[in-house]
Structure 1
């Protein structure tokens, strides 16, 4: 699996990123993560369930039934696995986090809850917190049933050419949750990649429409400074 490090103009303070792709992927995500461990170092990941559970990672491995994971351990990579959902990577002076945010997680405010937990846990100034939105399906390709207006404000939709449907902007929902946690637009970066149209990346919707096997790519973040951390 090829890793792209040039999706962002620069890494924000306190973090190092790695974005997995569909390029040269070897089998399923677990196989690719094992190969990435050999290349990058120890990785902690989650069994993602589209919920709002947040777990602290003290060591590599799979953390059960969570959709956000954070750590203050230096050199431990955190991985979030997506194929149209949003990977949101958070850096702070004392800890980093990886968040899996599909529409269900966004409806449960998974990003805001993760940011609020970290700000409270580490007594952070929100202006020192940075959030990066990774590759995900963009509004012009994300058609949903019109009953999604029961879950999100009307401002996040635009009309679809198909009756009974709307186009949902997941990224705009994510940015609102980030701002509501106290971050400013200067602290939010979006890589701008659309997984549906960019075939360097796996897309659940594109692959399922073509009848192809579903796969996902990891987005990873690690803490880069040596600090005192939990045992």
Structure 2
């Protein structure tokens, strides 16, 4: 599973092409937003100028290779729940139906059609991208969604929609607050201990959301060998990614972005920047 840091016209993202799906985790550079949203803020709900957000989204799509798809872009109203929306066609009626649904709240999108990009936004919560031979899913997994096993739920929906089996699914976990940085209340760590069968009670208040996400996916049948955590920290690498905690709640949002290319479309490899992944 080849994932590289790439840069296109100043927009940096950690990206790959897998099973007919192009996806990327954007960084914070290459956009037009000013402080404290500088500069590639993709979130429309944080107080940034909407015109800047629109331009940033256009640039992010272009960097991923789907310039011109802005009018088909799906960005849900994220509510820290476990609702998984499904888009099966690029036709106007279907996109209108999905937009109406995700406007009421959704934290994951499963897509089984080409040419429709999906974007979810983050600033410490866990972005998860799942690919399959005939579709993909993009998931927002904060502690509530992680506890509700939203990534595993999205995997099951993806299997149901595409007819694939768990062994067909590949999973990529993007930049987020890491387990050694995320201290939570005693009540919350005990809640996770009970749900996931951990034995941390009384020993630590540090919560690894990635650990819980991976466990839920494995329990859903996805092979652990096909789950890749990129181990990118939004806190320690705050110069690359937005962090709600590190920036005291006033910050922008990076994104997980994916779309399925048409079967006959020629795939052009995104060019990597000189520095390696994580540098």
Q: 2:20 aligns with which of 14, 19, 25?
A: 14
Structure 2 portions without partners, runs of 5+ = 1-9, 34-40, 45-52, 265-279
Q: 1:127-179 CA distances to partner (integer Å, 9 max, x unpaired)?
A: 1111110111101111111111342126385878xxxx710001100101111
Superposition map of 1:1-231 within 5 A = 2-5=11-14, 11-27=17-33, 28-29=41-42, 30=44, 31=53, 32-37=56-61, 39=63, 40-41=66-67, 42=69, 43-57=73-87, 58-59=89-90, 63-64=102-103, 65-153=105-193, 155=198, 166-198=205-237, 199-208=239-248, 213-226=250-263
Query: Following superposition, which runs of at least 4 residues in structure 1 exceed 6 angstroms of deviation?
Result: none
> Is the 1:3–1:18 Cα contact (8 Å) retained in structure 2?
no
Structural RMSD (CA): 2.4
Structure 1 portions without partners, runs of 5+ = none
Between the aligned partners of 2:224 and 2:149, the Cα distance in structure 1 is 18
The TM-score with structure 2 as length reference comes to: 0.70
1:2 Cα offset (Å)? 2.1
1:34 Cα offset (Å)? 3.5
> Is the 2:182–2:208 Cα contact (8 Å) retained in structure 1?
yes
SS of residue paired to 2:57: helix
Between the aligned partners of 1:157 and 1:15, the Cα distance in structure 2 is 38
1:225 Cα offset (Å)? 4.5
1:219 Cα offset (Å)? 1.3
The size of the alignment, in residue pairs, is: 217
SS of residue paired to 2:212: helix
